[in-house]
Amino acid sequence: TVDYYRLLSVPRNASIAEIKLAYHRALLIYHPDKQTSITARPYLSAVDIASIKDAYTILSSPHLRAQYDAQLQDQSIPVGPRPAQVISLEEFEEGDESVSWCYECRCGGYYKISEEDLEKGRHLVGCGSCSEVVWVGYELAEPSE
């Protein structure tokens, strides 16, 4: 997706007045009728006037802007490490503590997962000795009544 803030050269916390000013500035810079020589600055031809108008429409409406910001936030959430493999909790051995389980990594270290991790829904577990990460498969049992 297009970053409308970058397109209008405004910060994410810009006011409506700043957005309007940036919109008019962008129209003056990129409008084909205002170009003296597109060949002198070919990068200007890549900017679409419709995109500038879309940017203004979205960023000048508090409701649309909030939706757009949420969409940007979702896209910018860092993706966690990619697990090297999926291992069932059944393959883990009970650890020293009665509420933890261990599985040997190929480096000789161990993946450790605790009952607290299980209760929190944690599946990605890193080796204590290297950077390897695995996804631990399990299902939590509902307490019986």
Q: Domains in the chain, please, with CATH?
A: 4-76 (1.10.287.110), 85-137 (3.10.660.10)
> CA angle at residue 116 from 112 to 117, to 5 degrees?
50
Model-wide pTM > 0.85: no
What are the tens digits of pLDDT across the range 126-138? 888 888 888 888 7
Model pLDDT for residues 23-40, shown as the tens digit of each residue: 999 888 877 776 665 544
Judged against a pLDDT cut of 80, whether residue 81 lies above it is answered with no
* Separation between Cα atoms, residue 62 and residue 50, nearest integer Å: 20
